[in-house]
Amino acid sequence: MEGTGDFGHRLTYHRERSGLTVEQLAARAGMSAGYIQYMESHSDNPERGTMARLADALGTTVQDLLGGGRDRPPGGGPAMANPVLKVLEPEECLRLIAPGGIGRVAFNGSHGPTVLPVNYRLHGGAIVFRTAFGGPMDQDLRTGLEGVEIKVGFEVDRIDEAHRQGWSVLIQGPAHHMRDDEAAEMADAGITPWAGGERRLYIRIVPHRITGRRIHGL
């Protein structure tokens, strides 16, 4: 079966992504915490019924727990019946993205509209991420004028494929290339570049407009 052999790692990933402790997942799935810990520390797959209970408790699918969907875009199934779209307040948007993770930066690059993934942190009310000196977000996001910065879009979303629901947050604001003294303050913020390597340029996006949507069923 595709994607087998690292079930414990994927189980831990989905549990932590859901913000659950081992004990909380065990209670949801009707299992002992010790058994959850055992599965997370071993690569062997449990029996199918156990995987189904875990997937349901985590709001995901058995296929994703097995890693079978890692090479396909999310949301390939049909839309939910009677979806409801809710507008989110800015405070709720910031609460949703506060844990950090992977977001997407959208800007008008030298080759046209460009969207790139980044690892980000919310720091001091702003989005902060790392990229490479000389890269597209270094060259394309500089105006060459002191105090004049280019406005970009920054998007984060979470999709629950099992329940056909999720949310999306969009932030718009200027991209500020942080000076060395400003970047030094970020040393303990735990910001790592999405693409790895020597990416020492810190960029901060100050939110000027914050919008969000949540989609769910009736």
Looking at per-residue pLDDT, the higher value among 60 and 79 belongs to 60
Average confidence (pLDDT) over 115-129: 92
For residues 56 and 155, membership in a common domain is answered with no
| 38 plus 106 within the same structural domain | no
Highest mean pLDDT among 22-31, 38-47, 76-85, 135-144 belongs to 22-31
Q: Which of 65, 98, 114 is the last residue of a domain?
A: 65
* Best-predicted range by mean pLDDT (144-148, 193-197, 211-215): 211-215
Q: Can you give the residue range of the structural domain that contains 169?
A: 84-216
Q: Is 22:63 a contact under the CB 8 Å cutoff?
A: no
CA distance 37 to 13: 13
Tell me whether residue 28 is in a domain: yes
Residues 116 and 210 both lie in one domain? yes
Question: Residues 120, 34: one domain?
Answer: no
- Asked, for residue 198, whether it belongs to a domain, the answer is yes
Bigger pLDDT: 182 vs 80? 182
If asked whether residues 126 and 209 sit together in one domain, one would say yes
The answer to the question of residue 72 being in a domain is: no
Higher-confidence position of 96 and 164: 96
Q: How confident is the model at residue 4 (pLDDT cuts 50, 70, 90)?
A: very low
The pLDDT of residue 156 is above 80: yes
- Reference 33, options 41, 24, 42; nearest CA is 24
Q: Is residue 93 part of a domain?
A: yes
Q: How many domains are there within the chain?
A: 2
Whether residue 11 is contained in a domain is answered as yes
If pLDDT is split at 50, 70 and 90, which confidence band does 147 have? confident
Q: What was the pLDDT predicted at 168? A: 96
One domain, residues 48 and 119? no
Is residue 2 included in any domain, yes or no?
no
Q: How far apart are CA 44 and CA 155, in angstroms?
A: 36
